[in-house]
Amino acid sequence: MIRALLRASLGVVLAAGLLAQTEVLVLPERLRSACERDSACSGPKRQIDVRFDQVKAAALEDAAGTARMHFTESDPLSVILGGVKTWRLGREVYAAQCARCHGTDGKLEDYPGIKSLAGIGKRSSEQQILEAVANGGRVDMSGMTSAEKHAVAVYVSGL
Ligand code: HEC
């Protein structure tokens, strides 16, 4: 009995450590709101909702790699898993190009004239976000691929 309890609590501790490391728990929630905002995820919404727990479980193994293997291309879920990849790419671009001014969470307001990016996805489209960056002239986006631009806009939309 005690041994079982110990084993169970060890499992919880290990799982908690894993979650903290990979941030996978926030991933499905962010993707869900990104999906709803951009209507990017076609397919029966209820089905997507029901499957979110499965995504969460699969994401625990490996957000974009292993998880993708569980579903077929025609499954609306593959759209979401494609979103996981995009979100991860966006996070990389954001960390490299944007975080020094906007902070890792988008809420840093130290830079002169800067505004928090929190909730930006609710008030701005992808195009407006990219225009704000281009017009601000603080980041040279000429070296970015369109996939990277799209990805960083998706990531920022979830802040
Ligand atoms: C050198 C500092 C700096 C960097 C790097 C930077 N920004 Fe900004 N950003 C600002 C400042 C200052 C503003 C506010 C003035 C403006 O809108 O141009 C701003 C505004 C914005 C806005 C408009 C916010 C609003 O509420 O309308 C968005 C969106 C944005 N930045 C996204 C990004 C993204 C995405 C990146 C990385 C690709 C990035 N920024 C990199 C300084 C920076």
For the chain, state the CA radius of gyration.
18
- What is the number of the ligand 1 atom nearest to the C-alpha of 128? 29
Tokens of 101: 């001014």
Q: Is 18 within a domain?
A: no
pLDDT for position 121: 84
Look up the pTM and report it: 0.67
pLDDT for position 157: 84
Question: Ligand 1, atom 32: nearest CA belongs to which residue?
Answer: 133
Q: Is 152 within a domain?
A: yes
pLDDT for position 139: 93
Q: Is 79 within a domain?
A: yes
Q: What is the mean pLDDT of each run of 10 residues along the chain (159 residues)?
A: 40 39 52 57 50 55 49 59 78 94 93 92 90 92 94 87
* Ligand 1 pocket mutation, candidates 87, 94, 97, 98, criterion most atoms within 8 A of CB: 98
pLDDT for position 29: 62
Domain range enclosing 141: 24-157
Q: Is 97 within a domain?
A: yes
Number of domains in the chain: 1
pLDDT for position 106: 94
Tokens of 33: 């709101």
Ligand 1 neighbours, Cβ below 6 Å, are 97-98, 100-102, 111, 113-115, 117, 120, 129, 132-133, 136, 138-139, 152, 156
pLDDT for position 86: 81
Q: Is 148 within a domain?
A: yes
Q: Is 1 within a domain?
A: no
Question: Ligand 1, atom 16: nearest CA belongs to which residue?
Answer: 136
pLDDT for position 158: 80
pLDDT for position 101: 95
Q: Is 8 within a domain?
A: no
